[in-house]
Amino acid sequence: MALATQSPANSASYSASLLDAAKANRRAYCIRNPLGLCEIAHAKSYVVGDMKGWTFFVDSWPKGKRFRAGDVLVFKYLPTAHNVVKVNHLGYRTCTVPRGSYITRTGNDHIRLVKGNNYFICNLPGHCVNAMRIAVYAS
Ligand SMILES: [Cu+2]
């Protein structure tokens, strides 16, 4: 990204840079620095399970990948067949859904990783126990 070399006052080139970022499958977004000023950061987005998508035995997919806080996981699946539930460690380990968990089921769900451990399961009967769950650490 050449953002740093461009004048922030030049809004045309600024917008172009954001577009370039989008084309490169990266999202540009604003992070408040300690002074409260906006800094543009770049996040990668990952399709969970790659070509197979969000499905059974996807649990090893995060292995060997390095995720950063702000990166986006894209869960692709048939919305009639699965869902995505963001759970805590206990929910991940025991395939249960803690009260108040975030559930999404569009079939094309974009979820931004938070710093630390991020756990996701499918909570349709028998799915999580058949390894339809992932644990992702974001630095
Ligand atoms: Cu499922």
Distance 30 CA to ligand 1 centre (A): 33
CA of 84 to the centre of ligand 1 (A): 8
Asked whether residue 24 is assigned to any structural domain, the reply reads: no
What is the DSSP secondary structure assignment for residue 67, as one 8-state letter?
A: B
In a domain, 105, yes or no: yes
Residue 100 lies in a domain: yes
Q: What is the pLDDT of residues 25-51, one digit of tens each?
A: 555 666 677 777 766 667 899 999 999
Averaged pLDDT for residues 100-108: 95
Ligand 1 midpoint to CA 107 (Å): 11
Which residues partner with 76 through β-bridges?
Answer: 108
Domain with 81 in it: 44-138
User: Which residues are paired to 93 by β-bridges?
Assistant: none
User: Which pLDDT does position 42 carry in this prediction?
Assistant: 77
Checking if the pLDDT of 15 tops 90, the result is: no
Instruction: Indicate whether 99 belongs to any domain.
Output: yes
Could you give the CA distance from residue 68 to residue 114 in angstroms, rounded to a whole number? 8
Q: Is 27 part of any domain? A: no
Output the pLDDT for position 35. 77
Domain assignment present for residue 121? The answer is yes
Centroid of ligand 1 to alpha carbon of 71 (angstroms): 23
Centroid of ligand 1 to alpha carbon of 79 (angstroms): 9
- Residue 95, CA distances (Å) to 35, 107, 131 in order: 41, 20, 10
Ligand 1 centre to CA of 2 (Å) is 41
Q: How far is the CA of 35 from the centre of ligand 1 (A)?
A: 43
Dist. CA 70 → ligand 1 center (Å): 25
Q: How far is the CA of 25 from the centre of ligand 1 (A)?
A: 26
CATH number at residue 55: 2.60.40.420
Q: Which residue has the tokens 């931004």?
A: 112
Residue 74 covered by a domain: yes
| 26 alpha carbon – ligand 1 mean position (Å) | 27
Please report whether residue 81 resides in a domain.
yes
This prediction has a pTM of 0.73
Domain count, the chain: 1
